[in-house]
Amino acid sequence: MVEVINLTKMYGNKVGVKNVSFTAQKGEIIGFLGPNGAGKTTTMNVITGCKPATEGRVLIAGYDIAEKPLEAKKHLGYLPEIPPIYPELKVKSYLKFICGLKGVGREKRESHIGEIMELVKIMDVKDRVIKNLSKGYRQRVGLAQALISKPDVLVLDEPTVGLDPKQIHEMRSLIKSLGKEHTIILSSHILAEVSMVCDRVIIIKKGEIAAIDTPENLSKNMASAECFTAKIKGPAEKILPLIKEIDGVLSVKLDKDNNDSKPEYLSYIIESKKSIDVRTPLFFKLAGLGYPIYEMKSVPINLEDIFLQLTAEEKERAEVN
Amino acid sequence: MLAIFKKEVAVYFLTPFGYVFMGLFLLLSGIVFSIYNLWGARGDIYGMFGVLNFVSIVIFPVLTMKLLAEEKRMATDQLLFSSPVTITSIILGKYFAALFVYLVTLCATGVYAAFIMIFSKTSLGAIIGSYVGFALLGAAYIAICLFASSLTDSQVTSAIIGFGFLFGFMIVGLLTNAIPFLFLKRVVSWFAILSKYEEFANGLLKIGPLVYYLSFAVGFVFLTIIVVKGRLREKGGAKHEKDRH
């Protein structure tokens, strides 16, 4: 449904995005994840034809956005970062204007608008001037706009920014349900959101794709070590080397965040090889020496760590150079 | 195009812009009509248009300053650019919306013309000529100011640029006398937008001035389309550059 081939966008000599390629199938939700300024919005602007690509192609439903813009855009709904609303219009007349813009037949408009207002839950503000709406409603009006004419492809740039927790939850489940009929490309810098909503994640940093996979695979493949915390009674200077001796332990350090209140129970973060469970030898060893373990808790490696890992690599490399 | 036209006309009357333009236009023409025609007991419409002509360099930029600059500032242009409409139809929709508001306002001044017709011996030809001339002049002014609006994302800057353009075209007629080279003089005097207007005021509907103003309008609308398209068409340029290497 969406095909992006070697997309490069330069701003003068500065790289916006570089060699971005991916495809999105029908009914797939793809999440663009990256820190601010990584090139998410740039990519979306190029995909939707709001900015020209310096190199590469974008195909929407088989049509090149640069060569056949009208056909390509017929299959496209776009919610930019700032919802493109005209503050002086009323919600309903705004959506009517969008219908005209997207070529929805005159006789169908009324019912079509009603349907979409129902879907994004803005029925109660349909006769209000957009200027007077809250941020949450404006965002939903923006989404309604993107949904008019039921395009095959929805591009949503940070759709949950500025919403309150309840609205964020609603927006996410709405996007998830829309994903059944539409191909959705959304961007976010919130990891939980992307892993919750998306079928596939594209991690982007400094304009280049760092990883593309499902959220599960990303966590599985990227995690090279297992990690857990242990709370142990005893002096740290004796316990630290003891843990390090155990076969399979990669690293051990004091958990600084959790060691303020009771100095006799210290918390340690232990990283071990994936193949070896070090908890059994740890238990017997410390028990034998009279250092009781009060608590052991595994820490799952999540997308956040991978994300940080991927972005940190860059930094390390820069430091080496 | 129709959707954009309708939206723009609606926005004119949901915001102060339409009212400010209409109000100023009708207020000024009313004052002039009262002083010049009623109290001065003169039976021509030339005075009214003379004054309107003078203030038009201020009120036309107000009419058009929002059209493209505001879309860019509010990022609503992304909606237009990602919709299945051509740039040409977006610009034309906006141009005709401004032209429509202007022509409706101009028609409202017909009341004065009717008075003049009834109580004086002014020929119908002269009045129609003046109206057609002023309508065409406005069509050209709107195109120039629309172009100004496409150059910036600030309404104020857009209005100032528009004012600058109109002022420039107005005084260019005075400058032509100072140019010693005949050819250059001719070229520059072509841009003296007011010089052709007098021909209408005499009640003569000549094809020359008509074509002149229309080409002015078409030219600047075309320039606007080029400016807006230019932002979306980097690709062609980049390709050419690559070919050259």
Give the predicted TM-score (pTM) of the model. Answer: 0.82
Q: What is the pLDDT of residue B235?
A: 43
Contact B14 A54 (CB under 8 A): no
A224-300 CATH: 3.30.70.3190
Q: What is the pLDDT of residue A260?
A: 63
Q: CA–CA separation, A213 vs A199, rounded Å?
A: 9
The nearest alpha carbon in chain A to B70 belongs to: A86
Query: B236 lies in a domain?
Result: no
Chain B residues with CB under 8 Å of a chain A CB are 2-4, 6-7, 10-11, 14-15, 74-86, 232-235, 238
pLDDT band at B239 (very low <50, low <70, confident <90, very high): very low
Contact B84 A55 (CB under 8 A): no
- For residue range A34-46, what is the model confidence (pLDDT) as tens digits? 877 888 899 999 9
Q: Where are the domains of chain A?
A: 2-220, 224-300
Is CATH 3.20.20.140 what the domain over A2-220 is classified as, yes or no? no
Contact B85 A82 (CB under 8 A): no
**Chain B hits for A97, Cβ within 8 Å:** 3, 6-7
Among the partner-chain residues A55, A84, A102, the one whose CB lies closest to the CB of B238 is: A55
Q: Which amino acid type is present at position A119?
A: L
Query: B234 lies in a domain?
Result: no
Query: B19 lies in a domain?
Result: yes
Query: B240 lies in a domain?
Result: no
Nearest CA to A241 among A268, A216, A261? A268
- For residue range B54-89, what is the model confidence (pLDDT) as tens digits? 888 889 999 999 999 999 999 899 999 999 999 999
For chain B, what is the domain count?
1
Contact A101 B6 (CB under 8 A): no
Query: B239 lies in a domain?
Result: no
Nearest CA to A200 among A189, A220, A184? A184
Q: CA–CA separation, B227 vs B220, rounded Å?
A: 10
- Cβ pair A220, A274 in contact under 8 A: no
Q: What is the pLDDT of residue B46?
A: 78
Nearest CA to A217 among A239, A195, A236? A195
Average pLDDT of the segment spanning A216-243: 80
**CB half-sphere exposure, B65, CA atoms < 13 A:** 24
Contact A100 B81 (CB under 8 A): no
Query: B245 lies in a domain?
Result: no
Q: What is the pLDDT of residue A223?
A: 62
- For residue range B103-122, what is the model confidence (pLDDT) as tens digits? 999 999 988 888 888 888 77
Contact A88 B14 (CB under 8 A): yes
- Distances in Å between the Cα of A133 and the Cα atoms of A96, B50, B222 are 18, 46, 37
- For residue range B186-227, what is the model confidence (pLDDT) as tens digits? 777 777 777 777 777 666 677 888 898 999 999 999 999 999
Q: Residue B14: CB partners within 8 Å, gap ≥ 6?
A: A88, A89
**Chain B hits for A45, Cβ within 8 Å:** 78
Q: What phi and psi, each to the nearest 5 degrees, are found at residue A59?
A: -110, 125
Q: What is the pLDDT of residue B241?
A: 38
pLDDT band at B9 (very low <50, low <70, confident <90, very high): very high
* Residues of the domain holding B193: 2-229
- According to DSSP, the residues that pair with A55 across neighbouring strands are A8
Query: B176 lies in a domain?
Result: yes
